[in-house]
Structure 1
């Protein structure tokens, strides 16, 4: 696993500032502490930080083809590189190393842009072809590895693995994108392709960007999407057998490494399934790591221990105490832009634990999106059945009124929170799903933002993100559609971002066999009816795993990687929340309505309402502004002057 960076003069052969390139490269030293190199030629500079995983002796980057006309910097793993190397050698290409990186330059020579369709793995890379005067950027199909870029006012295109490397360039504007701010306070992260800054972008999963010298318009192009070509006739027993075979094959190829390897083990279905497959493949015991919580309401370590005992793993546990909140400012520095998933705290700790013993770990991320494991899918399908009974023209006024007058009951079980259900039924399917995943509702965000900031949004709404993906969704099945929406937003913007930054902060490589694109493609063809069946999410996955895991693991209620925010904000973090949310940093941005901020704090700390999620979102935004934007000596939010 590595960090990459590049500077490209789109106008011509301008001079590349070597010191600037080195400085940008060094901001990502945590991603690759083993080695760091830069390469410069007229109009181009490439940098790389290396964490040695494969071909430790000779896999240095930037890496060239035979005549040095093609050079690449690469972050990730190409798991089928041996097969590709054999194919390319037979086609006449000459290899100097035994690493997967060299496959990329020869694949480009052989297939051009279509090279990405041959790669099986996780990757983000920048490639320069001097003969074609072409820079080629590409990101893997599911977005496991990140890639940021920006076209500067001087015509220079810059790219990197993390946003902090772009921020290190003095010509990058720190002006925030109001639409990204709106997205953040709805989702808790900033969905692709936006970043918090207007000028910087993320290359979306399954996209590539080809830029020829002299070209100043950037047009990313999609090369892959989840197909959802449904099989109409299936036999469940055959599906179960095929599923295990395909899962085992995916896990097997993800074991490729020359350094110590292990796995995360939470005790949930997905990580337990990966460990079960690893134990059946590896000749030595699997190294497993998990987190336990001092608060039993959040602790599932006993389930991880059960799996560890069954498969006789070398199991290691680290307890996170209820007051482990010292990481708040460090998280802002890790994620580079506002990011509000509080499970980043224990994720950071489990990565820290794993790195003490291994360099590579396998995780179970992606299982919920693939097999419909989230509880919200069940509620969405129930709401869809109710929506089908009445047209929107009747539902909207009827349930809109009921949602308005019905009291809010945060404390009650979901089935008794009729207010949320009424509000969802007053909307169409996409807006209803958006309502269910939002940290702050439309009405809350309307009150949160100051009038001047709302004007800057120019009627933009965060639901537009889901609407745009719904329009391109390749299936009209209701369950598959929301799975698709999550794969495009929550999976990449929240889950994979969280794991990448937390792991790379410790120079740890995390691999996700449940997101192998061939496995994802096959799973997407399975009928939705065997993913969510009789209210049971991951139905077919769990049935297939019954010979490998106990019912205690497979059929218990999902806990997740939660932390006790509500108690923190009324107890040990009480004053910190007040200082951050009501302090000068947020006030100076001009974004927020002070009166509503006071209401959020007072109502939560008095116990009248649970506003822990919105307050955490504000806390992380304040930390971002204070540590990233103000820490760079730049002002926060550059308001447009009235005409």
Structure 2
């Protein structure tokens, strides 16, 4: 298992025996590289832990623990985990601000605790088999312990519809994801008993009590959100290794870069573009980089580069990534690694937090129309990509029920519908898809990707901004521009160009790959897809564009499975 995960932590590998098991860690050294090796222990050796990620508020927690009588010996962030557990028990996780997946064993109670950060930035998958629980940061690392299970038919409709399997499910039988904001307690009572506990839920609107503890004025709420974001960036730019920023032409990354420039004296920025796409983000990002005086790198991908990176990413991802931008992000982290950068900040999150996707705003506008909306509304049908997949799922898959759209709901008042949408986007698309992609594409190259906008303090602060009766700004992400003004970093509005390649140049190669893999691959052999329906899609796509996304998702899954089934290391 450690060998399979070596790419995620090339700096140190440790195997710590336990009664009837072991804790395994592969470390990417970010804080205190010369020390802080795992496993971590507390004041007593009976409590030990391994973890993946970073505890961003560790400096504050170290001082807190010292005042409470704890003796911390290293300089790293992870040492606070075991000491917090000794101080607060299972509630230790509530004190952590960061991105983490933790496995902690308490020999005194013979309990194993698995914990995952609030927004699910770091993955944690597990499998319970007979009297054994196996867990890891990636699905393929479970294979040496429990084997690679068959494809889970129940997950396929959602995967074809959304491009990902919403947590806690995975695409394999017997493998589950520990949900974001949860911890699990594992005991050896009559075999293995694993019990899930939720300790945090992403807020999707104002508190039910109207936010009694929140400031009354909108300006004060913006100030609170601004302070939370500035603090998140300050914490996440701290590292003992080089830090860089992924820079696009939009407000999300531009604001982060301007905040980061206040604390990083040698700011590095990176942008990716496509040679065959007439409009991209390179010029806008270069202008921002020049204003920030950052050391800027432009990465331009040819069609051949794109296809090479697509194949590499499909084989090595922790789970299938059915996203056309996969090659761009993999190229980004590859260049970072080659330049010695080990931490990369990105501007992901505001599209979901502020409901900024065009199709989402169209759905909101629709439900506000005078008259009675239909009994139910599925916001995903406003996105042609999802509507296309929904029409094809039944014809391509065998013996499966139609996927239940994540945003289908009964007719709701405007504000309730907005909250319902945000819940689906945050807990589905962002956690199960966007953050998963960033983690796996970064750590393929031993680069830790950090996402300040999903810091839970900021998420909580901006959720209160969506108050009933608040002004309905026509400009997307208006509140983010207000935050920039509060931080004295005003940013002029510029319509952002989509970070997305023109597909016509790569479609013939994608169709050829799909024909090679899908008609005789595992999905067809297992009777999960209809080869004739796939053939029909392959024939119709070049002329009418129908089904390209469905073919692409099937292809990425099939290529991932092919690599997964190879003998374990």
TM-score (norm 1): 0.81
Partner of 1:189: 164
CA contact (8 A) 2:247 2:271 kept: yes
Do the aligned partners of 1:159 and 1:166 also contact (CA within 8 Å) in 2?
Answer: yes
Q: 1:235 to 1:555 in 2, by over 3 A?
A: farther
Number of the residue aligned with 2:512: 575
* Mapped pair 1:507 → 2:446: yes
Residue in 2 aligned with 1:69? Answer: 46
Alpha-carbon distance in 2 for matches of 1:167, 1:466: 34
Q: Within 1, Cα distance between the matches of 2:165 and 2:395? A: 20
Please state how far the C-alpha of 1:618 moved relative to its aligned partner: 1.9
Match of 1:157 among 113, 133, 141: 133
Q: Separation in 2 of the partners of 1:516 and 1:368? A: 15
Contact kept, 8 Å, 1:566 with 1:612, in 2: the verdict is no
Counterpart secondary structure, 1:537? coil
Which residue number in structure 2 is paired with residue 7 of structure 1? none
Cα distance in 1 for partners of 2:334, 2:3 equals: 21
* Partner deviation per Cα, 1:441-473 (whole Å, 9 max, x = no partner): 4331011113xxx1xx4x4x4326556xx79x9
Q: Looking at CA atoms only, which structure, 1 or 2, has the larger radius of gyration?
A: 1
1:348-385 deviations in Å (ceiling 9; x for gaps) = 00111122231112111112112222112211102212
Whole-Å Cα distance in 2 between the matches of residues 434 and 191 of structure 1?
A: 18
- Number of residue pairs matched? 554
**In structure 2, C-alpha distance between the alignment counterparts of 1:139 and 1:359, rounded to whole Å:** 22
Q: Name the structure 2 match of 1:217.
A: 193
Match of 2:562 in 1: 626
Judged with a 3 Å threshold, the aligned counterparts in structure 2 of structure 1 residues 586 and 156 are, in CA distance, closer, same or farther, namely closer
Of residues 372, 394, 400, the one that matches 1:390 is: 372
> Partner of 1:317 in structure 2?
298
Q: 1:176 to 1:524 in 2, by over 3 A?
A: same
SS at match of 2:7: helix
Whether the aligned pair in 1 keeps the contact of 2:10 and 2:26 (CA below 8 Å) is yes
Q: Contact 1:322–1:564 (CA<8 Å) still a contact in 2?
A: no
CA-to-aligned-CA distance 1:304-338 (integer Å, 9 cap, x gap): 10110111111111111133201333223322433
Q: Secondary structure of the equivalent of 2:49?
A: strand
Q: Deviations over 1:562-611 (max 9, x none)?
A: 233343223x4443333233345543231112222122111112x22343
Write the distance in 1 (CA, Å) between the matches of 2:359 and 2:382: 11
**Match of 1:533, SS?**
coil
Matches within 5 A, 1:404-415: none
Match of 1:412 in 2: none
Q: Which consecutive unaligned segments of at least 5 residues does structure 1 have? A: 1-23, 394-427, 634-643
User: Paired residue for 2:179?
Assistant: 204
More moved, 215-224 vs 305-314: 215-224
Offset, 1:480: 2.3
1:253 is matched with which residue: 218, 235, 239?
A: 235
Residues 120-199 of structure 1: pairs in structure 2 closer than 5 A: 120-153=97-130, 155-169=131-145, 171-172=146-147, 174-199=149-174
Match of 2:254 in 1: 272
**Distance (Å, rounded) in 2 between the aligned partners of 1:206 and 1:319:** 37
Could you tell me which residue of structure 2 aligns to residue 589 of structure 1? Answer: 526
Change in 2 beyond 3 A, CA 1:73/1:196: same
Verify the 8 A CA contact 1:378 1:535 in the aligned structure 2: no
2:503 paired with 1:565: yes
Partner of residue 516, structure 1:
455
CA–CA distance in structure 1, aligned partners of residues 469 and 386 of structure 2? 27
Residues 251, 513 of structure 1: 8 Å contact kept: yes
Shift in CA distance, 440/204, structure 1 to aligned 2, threshold 3 Å: farther
